[in-house]
Chain A
């Protein structure tokens, strides 16, 4: 049986988070009073149907979108921030250091080589000297088993390889947390499996915390913990091994 981790280990905490969108048709509650604690070193899956609020939840965690009420607290590198209290500039800086993002479409710059694509966020953040950033980019490509392709343009590698480059880019500034929105959504199952292996390695060997959203069914067992979201509410919260930890079904 798994030990309940002490509270000090949390890396992300959502307290009574609500998000309501105003549309022409009226107010639409996308997230309803979500409470969630993500612990360091978890590979957390958030599953649910399209429109359940999964991406909105991710956008609350990384501060990409404003919340309507509640609080998101993230601990990283010895510090603790209330994400939505930061102003725009501070938020952007904080996000760049703390969270790597990976989306379904890889969005690599087609005119830059793989190594340049990964160097770019380091150069923009200015955390590494140019030479260091290039070396680091190469190391990350090696980690993704793409070292031999370093000088190629994205058009000359497969979709799965491009997504691994996007993951390497997300790791460029060595964030503690990786946030991935449907990262396997446009990949075949074998390639998707490879992405999962990469994520598992990042969690187990590199100490990263990964929060991944997917609408695909049958992937629940791949995560160390899996949440189900429906109509903006968390309905199940299951630790992978060995049995469901608790259920929040209402």
Chain B
């Protein structure tokens, strides 16, 4: 149910504490739907910041809430709770539907899976439509600008054709030209390649990369892993909640539900420069993922200088060897010269999930193997024992 909105209704207003770098800020966004079966919550308190100039993909299984999340940004649907700030403006509080519609026309370009070109208008006319709708650019300038955009997407020669006479890939390119008609800073795309062959999809992502290089921000929902690898950031939504991006990058083979479980149970801790995180031979109770900063795994030989076994940075992990191969730390681990932010997963939870997730366990196991090799070569105690 949509809560009553503050009166009077007017255009979106600037939010005083909005981050200047952010183009999208979602704060505690909840979306509930009611139907005959009762009420259910599709988005369960989403906090998300997307910065200007980022190329972001959003993935999630069917029913995870990814389209609803996108609908909150485009204003197709309204949050039940929380705040959505786009380009510094609160787009919901006290904003009328028509004011939001005008605002959207100038600030957002939107691309849909099924293109949504008007069948009775030529490609050129379709591209001109948003300029007419929000009354941007001089009347004479509109066809010129539309033609430039069609040229940019490689459709100049089809400008006067109706959509039905061009391929689906070309229809989507025209839809992208239309989305950019009013030169918006932000492009939102909902499965833009979902209905296209690989080659057309590749052209479209190339075009998106071009827009990003020009300073635009692009947020794209997709289920195609070959596309997510080309974005700056990949956000995973599972069961209406966002997965911590350090967890999804550090342990990409995990199932979404396990990633979400880790997101919920992970303890966040910051270590100061040079602070010891694990002491050699002490028991290890957590699996650590590095959110920012760098750690050093160090072996101290008696009467000699210490050896730095490894330096680990953002999205890498440690504690794995100990948790999977016996409980004691095989080296000292400390923060390097800057503070380190970590996510800590309790031992029992980590081991349980590894048992349920053989693919991740195998991937982590390979890293464990490699680290043990490195350790064996560097550890004076073990080489002595071997001798």
Contact = CB atoms under 8 A, between A and B. Distances in A.
Contacts of B114: 105, 107
Given A65-B165, A107-B116, A155 B122 contact: no
B15 interface: no
B118 A120 contact: yes
Interface stretch (A88-96, A192-200, A220-228): A88-96
Interface in A166-191: 181
Interface string A51-70: 00001000100001100000
Interface string A7-31: 0000000000000000000000000
Given A88-B160, A124-B121, A109 B116 contact: yes
B317 interface: no
A107 B119 contact: yes
Q: Which of B76, B117, B120 has the most CB of A within 10 A?
A: B120
B164 A92 contact: no
A130 to B, nearest CB: 14
Contact of B76 (A59, A65, A92, A111): A111
Contacts of B160: 88
Nearest to A186: B114
Contact of A59 (B74, B120, B165): B165
Nearest to A151: B97
Contacts of B104: 111
B110 interface: yes
Contacts of A101: 119-120
B171 to A, nearest CB: 9
A242 B77 CA distance: 51
A147 interface: no
B116 A108 contact: yes
Interface in B91-120: 101, 104, 110, 112, 114-120
A155 B117 contact: no
Given A153-B76, A155-B77, A109 B164 contact: no
Nearest to B120: A101
B121 A103 contact: no
B118 A103 contact: no
B162 interface: yes
B71 interface: yes
A210 B47 CA distance: 51
A126 interface: no
Give the interface size class of chain B: 20 to 34
Given A59-B165, A88-B160, A111 B120 contact: no
A45 B74 CA distance: 40
A64 B164 contact: yes
Contacts of B110: 110-111
Contacts of B117: 107
A107 B195 CA distance: 14
Given A64-B162, A64-B165, A111 B118 contact: no
Contacts of B164: 55, 59, 64, 103, 181
A96 B120 contact: yes
A112 B115 CA distance: 14
A110 B120 contact: no
Contact of A155 (B76, B101, B120, B162): B76
Contacts of A124: 121
A92 B119 CA distance: 12
Interface in A89-143: 92, 95-96, 101, 103, 105, 107-112, 120-121, 124
B120 A121 contact: yes
A223 B181 CA distance: 42
Contacts of B112: 110
Interface string B162-184: 11110000000000000000000
A65 B162 CA distance: 9
Nearest to B114: A105
Q: Which of A65, A88, A107 has the most CB of B within 10 A?
A: A107
A128 to B, nearest CB: 16
Q: Which of A111, A112, A121 has the most CB of B within 10 A?
A: A111
A120 B118 CA distance: 10
A179 B224 CA distance: 36
Q: Which of B104, B117, B119, B122 has the most CB of A within 10 A?
A: B119
Contacts of B162: 64
Given A59-B164, A65-B165, A103-B164, A109 B118 contact: yes
B31 to A, nearest CB: 13
Contacts of B121: 124
A77 to B, nearest CB: 18
B122 A107 contact: no
B120 A95 contact: yes
Nearest to B71: A155
Contacts of A88: 160
Contacts of B115: 105, 107
Contacts of A65: 165
A177 to B, nearest CB: 13
Nearest to B75: A111
A103 B114 CA distance: 12
Interface of B: 71, 74, 76-77, 101, 104, 110, 112, 114-122, 160, 162-165
Given A88-B160, A120-B118, 10 more contacts: A59-B165, A101-B120, A103-B119, A105-B114, A107-B114, A107-B116, A110-B110, A110-B116, A111-B110, A155-B71
17 contacts: A59-B165, A65-B165, A92-B122, A101-B119, A101-B120, A105-B114, A105-B115, A107-B117, A108-B116, A110-B112, A111-B74, A111-B101, A112-B101, A155-B71, A155-B76, A155-B77, A156-B77
| Closest CB pairs A-B (n = 10) | A105-B114, A101-B119, A64-B162, A107-B116, A155-B76, A103-B119, A107-B119, A153-B76, A109-B116, A101-B120
